[in-house]
Structure 1
């Protein structure tokens, strides 16, 4: 592991316990047995370290998702795999880890939001493909895409999750399950049609 990677890994571990805002560079230096001066050779500021932590998490998620989806043809399998991988990755993001981003580091949170937007647009493209192939209902994908994005922004967000004692994984799975399968119980669908 390079010194830069050690710094990123160490700060992430500290942030998992304390959050990004309360984790300090002094603690990071002690954790890694290095001086603050060494840390500042690689990063200009604490914010730059936080940004590197989040960029690493997002990039790892993206690589894993696309590697898995490239092996699948069926749009339903692709959507299921997308939800599984993102849910597993979200398990790593404790609410404590990400709670400070929208409040104290909005420029970094904006990058997370852009990443989520891009990936949800990609998921919508899979839905369009699924409709064309007959796997999914014919629906207005513009409405579905906008609804899904608005829901993720409102619900899969640190403040909402902390206020409602929800994990990112549980929240994302619930939102995606609702969008993909609806809320009507299977045994009741026949009676309502």
Structure 2
């Protein structure tokens, strides 16, 4: 592991303990017998380290998503694997960490938002392909994309999660389950108007 990667990994561990806002370059250097000068040789600021930590997280997640999507041709299995993978990955991000990003590092938070929007588009593509094959109902893709993205942004966000004493994982799984299966129990599905 080169020095830059080591700094990213060590800062990530420190941030798990202290949060992004609470973690400092001074503490990072002191805990790891590293000079601040060495850290600043690779990163101009703490914000740049945070951006690198999240970039690494997003790249790893994207790689795993591609691997999952290549494992099967069945759209239902793809969605199931996608939701499972994303739920496992977001478990790493605590509401506190996300809240700090939103409040103190809005430019970095915007990168996270863009990443989420891109991953939702993968999900929508799976649904569209599955619709053509008869696995899912045919629904206007523009409406599906907008409604799912709006729901994820409204529910899988730090403020909502903290205010409602949830985890990011729980919020994401519930949104996806509701989106895919609705709220009507199987017992009453036959009573729905067509």
Pairwise same-fold verdict (TM > 0.5): yes
Q: What's the counterpart of residue 138 of structure 1?
A: 138
1:72 & 1:13 partners in 2: Cα distance?
A: 34
CA contact (8 A) 1:17 1:97 kept: no
How well do the aligned residues superpose, as a CA RMSD in angstroms? Answer: 1.1
Are positions 1:101 and 2:101 aligned together?
yes
Deviates more, 1:51-60 or 1:24-33: 24-33
Are positions 1:21 and 2:2 aligned together?
no
Structure 1 runs of 4+ aligned residues shifted over 4 Å read none
Q: CA deviation digits over 1:133-165, x for unaligned, max 9?
A: 000011122111100000111111112112222
Q: CA deviation digits over 1:33-57, x for unaligned, max 9?
A: 2011111011000000000000010
What is the deviation of 1:166?
1.3
Q: What's the counterpart of residue 111 of structure 1?
A: 111
Q: What's the counterpart of residue 46 of structure 1?
A: 46
CA contact (8 A) 1:8 1:53 kept: yes
1:9 & 1:96 partners in 2: Cα distance?
A: 19
1:33 & 1:99 partners in 2: Cα distance?
A: 30
Deviates more, 1:15-24 or 1:45-54: 15-24
**TM-score of the superposed pair, with normalisation by structure 1:** 0.96
Q: Where does structure 1 lack aligned partners over 5 or more consecutive residues?
A: none
- 1:125-164 to structure 2, matched below 5 A, reads 125-164=125-164
**TM-score of the superposed pair, with normalisation by structure 2:** 0.95
Q: CA deviation digits over 1:78-111, x for unaligned, max 9?
A: 1111101000101111122222111111110111
Q: What's the counterpart of residue 12 of structure 1?
A: 12
SS of structure 2 residue aligned to 1:99: helix
What is the deviation of 1:6?
1.6
SS of structure 1 residue aligned to 2:21: coil
What is the deviation of 1:191?
3.4
CA contact (8 A) 1:26 1:36 kept: yes
What is the deviation of 1:186?
1.1
Q: What's the counterpart of residue 182 of structure 1?
A: 182
What is the deviation of 1:5?
1.4
